[in-house]
Structure 1
Amino acid sequence: MPDVLLFGLAVLVNIAGLGWLALAMDVHWEQALGPVPASGATIKLLRVLGVAGLVASLLLCLSVDHASMASLVWFMTLAGAALAIAFTLTWRAHWLGLLVGKLRSAA
């Protein structure tokens, strides 16, 4: 797979991971999905998915470049993804509901 596609996938997975971690917080869940609170199991699953997404993003960056450059790029994408999630929560919080999918009905 070309390096550009792997890097693009790393960015998308990074955004998804931070989105899942944001949705694991009650305040952001309510912003994105309404006043129905998430169950404890849903919150734990969102946290696991978030961490797994960030680790997968790091591994994708490491597969593209050597460790020192890959970690730098990963931190930069992490900052960009955090900004993207913050703007999404501010402007169109309901878009984060796409990351939850069928978990919404299980909440």
Structure 2
Amino acid sequence: MLEGPTAALFLLAACLACWAGMGWLALAMDGHWEQVFQAEQPQSVVWRLRAQGAAGLALGLVLCLQADHASMAALVWVMMLAAAALSVAMTLSWRPGWLAWLAWGARRA
């Protein structure tokens, strides 16, 4: 269990990982992809985005576990998932183009 600024940095990194994970999972859906890119989604990127999304959420959990004990880390992680989902949903409704940078690796493949 970490304390002080180090724990805060781990929690910040966990928050960013959860946000990116939710963004990747959102971009894996046809409707959200079309919202962001105004183009049809290539099937080759769906599984890559899903895998990246799952990895981002798992990384968020690992980082939370590094910052605090297991019961508190699980609670914080679930709250981060909710906040990340809300944040991605608001971004999709307000400025969907802001999520385009999340797909740079998936679009290249």
Q: TM-score range by the shorter chain?
A: over 0.9
**Gap runs ≥5 in structure 2:** none
Q: Which amino acid aligns with 1:12?
A: L
1:52-63 aligned within 5 A: 52-63=55-66
Secondary structure of the residue aligned to 1:77 is helix
Please report the RMSD computed on the Cα atoms of aligned residues, expressed in angstroms.
1.3
Alignment of 1:92 with 2:91, yes or no, is no
Pick one of 71, 83, 86 that aligns with 1:83: 86
Pick one of 48, 73, 77 that aligns with 1:74: 77
- Name the TM-score, length of structure 2 as normaliser: 0.91
Aligned length: 105
Shift of 1:16: 0.1
Shift of 1:102: 4.2
Residues 53 and 29 of structure 1: is their aligned pair in 2 closer, same or farther, counting only changes over 3 Å?
Answer: same
**Gap runs ≥5 in structure 1:** none
Q: Which of structure 1's runs of 4+ aligned residues deviate more than 6 A?
A: none
Q: In the aligned structure 2, how far is the partner of 1:102 from the partner of 1:67?
A: 33
Contact 2:48 2:106 in 1 (8 A): no
